[in-house]
Amino acid sequence: MISEEERQIIKETLDHKANGTTHMLDDVMHNPVAKYNDPDQLRAEMDILFKNFPIIIAHSSDLPDAGSFLTYDDLQAPILVTRNNDGQVKAFLNVCRHRGARVEDKPCGKARTFSCPYHSWTFDLNGNLRGLPQPFGFGDLDKSKLGLVELPVFEEFGMIWVMPSKTEQTIDFDAWTAPMREQLNGLDLGGHVVFKKWSLDRNMSWRLALEGFQESYHFCSAHRDTACSSYLDNQSVHMNFYPHVRHAVPLPSIEELREKPEAEWDYRPHYMTQNYLFPANFVQVMTDHVYVHTIIPTGQGTCKFQCMMLIPEAPKTEKAERYWNKNYDLIRIVFDEDFVIGEGIQKGLNTNANQEFLFGMYECGLHFGQTAIDDALKGDLTVTTV
């Protein structure tokens, strides 16, 4: 059973293929190069995009039990994430309320309480300050006011999403992700297994890494010997679910559907779908597995690419293990092809060879993504609150 949205994507693909056309916008977009190399621009992006919007930091299985915790340091704040005794995920600034030490230093583990290494103030899984040595030295201390600072966190679609800055407002995550929910819920990513997880530091603006996933015009150049033959050349259908984007890249097998009644259509075997979830999260759905990646700026001209490969179940045979490893090896090559190009662009950014970059009319994901980023930086786009 496919959704109405998928039926529409399939129809568009078949029509374009029959007519020798592709999905296009009305105009080319001119994007100033200053957006990629201006330090003030990057500061604004780090302060707004990477603090005030939900970022994927882990899979649900990374916090399997009550008492599971992980620490995360790739955003601008040190973060501690726990699963409490009710099974809820909680996130906190990993900053002691006494004099600021890191409360927990291990990358992950299991604990009932967290004892700060500096003077042993102790916090529970809900961030409450439970005790401190020699409390008489602090007079009339109100422990209820000295819990760890809580951050908005969401466990949705099998992923842990954190909004890295403190807010008094209640975030409506359902509304924020509304147009993507049907598709993402249908994937059952929470029931998937993390087959591989990796993190790369690359010498390129985070924007350049991001843009590699927002169009397929580059596939038959940049991925000539790898991904090119697996997909129809530059035939993407982009759905603008502002500020998110569903980017559907058809496989040649889509042609099989042309003669079939619509009631028999299926979607997933015929598309690779790169779902962009603002500001820098991707859920990239392959025909039988999924990559979830997040791109984070780490400085001027540098970024971190974090990725997990999710498969429907743990491999039970050597053959299955080999199959998934083959997919993993291939995607590492394909992603690397993008990153090598991106690092090359980075080297030329400051030359003034270009005052602006051109987004072609079929590079729709670039237009949509850039518009949403511009809006957020202007203050016109904020995460949905209640």
Secondary element (H or E) of residue 254: none
Q: Does 338 bind Fe ion (CB under 5 A)?
A: yes
Q: Does 258 bind ligand FES (CB under 6 A)?
A: no
Contact between 218 and 337 under an 8 Å Cβ cutoff? The reply is no
| Exposure letters 306-325 (e unless 16+ CB within 10 A, then b) | bbbbbbeeeeeeeeeeeebe
d(CA 68, CA 298): 27
Encoded tokens for 188: 């059952």
d(CA 310, CA 292): 8
Q: Does 116 bind ligand FES (CB under 6 A)?
A: yes
Q: Does 104 bind Fe ion (CB under 5 A)?
A: no
d(CA 237, CA 275): 12
Secondary element (H or E) of residue 148: none
* Torsion angle of the four alpha carbons 132, 134, 138, 139, in this order, in degrees rounded to the nearest 10: 120
Q: Does 54 bind Fe ion (CB under 5 A)?
A: no
Q: 30, 106, 112, 119: which one contacts ligand FES (CB under 6 A)?
A: 119
Residue 121 binds which of Fe ion, ligand FES, none (CB < 5-8 A, kind-dependent): ligand FES
- Please enumerate in sequence order all residues whose Cβ is within 8 A of that of 373, keeping only pairs 6 or more positions apart, or say none: 45, 49, 279
From 21-29, 33-41, 322-330, 332-340, give the range in contact with Fe ion by CB under 5 A: 332-340
Residue 338 binds which of Fe ion, ligand FES, none (CB < 5-8 A, kind-dependent): Fe ion
Residue 215 binds which of Fe ion, ligand FES, none (CB < 5-8 A, kind-dependent): none
Which is closer to Fe ion, CB of 92 or CB of 368?
Answer: 368
By CB under 6 A, the count of residues binding ligand FES is 10
Encoded tokens for 115: 């004892």
The nearest distance, CB 119 to ligand FES, in angstroms, is 3
Three-state secondary-structure class, residue 124: strand
DSSP 46: I
Residues 203-242 vs Fe ion: string with x where CB under 5 A? ---------x------------------------------
Which is closer to Fe ion, CB of 212 or CB of 297?
Answer: 212
The nearest distance, CB 335 to Fe ion, in angstroms, is 7
The nearest distance, CB 117 to ligand FES, in angstroms, is 7
d(CA 73, CA 80): 9
The nearest distance, CB 305 to Fe ion, in angstroms, is 12
Residues 90-109 vs ligand FES: string with x where CB under 6 A? ------x-xxxx--------
Contact residues: ligand FES, CB under 6 A: 96, 98-101, 116, 118-121
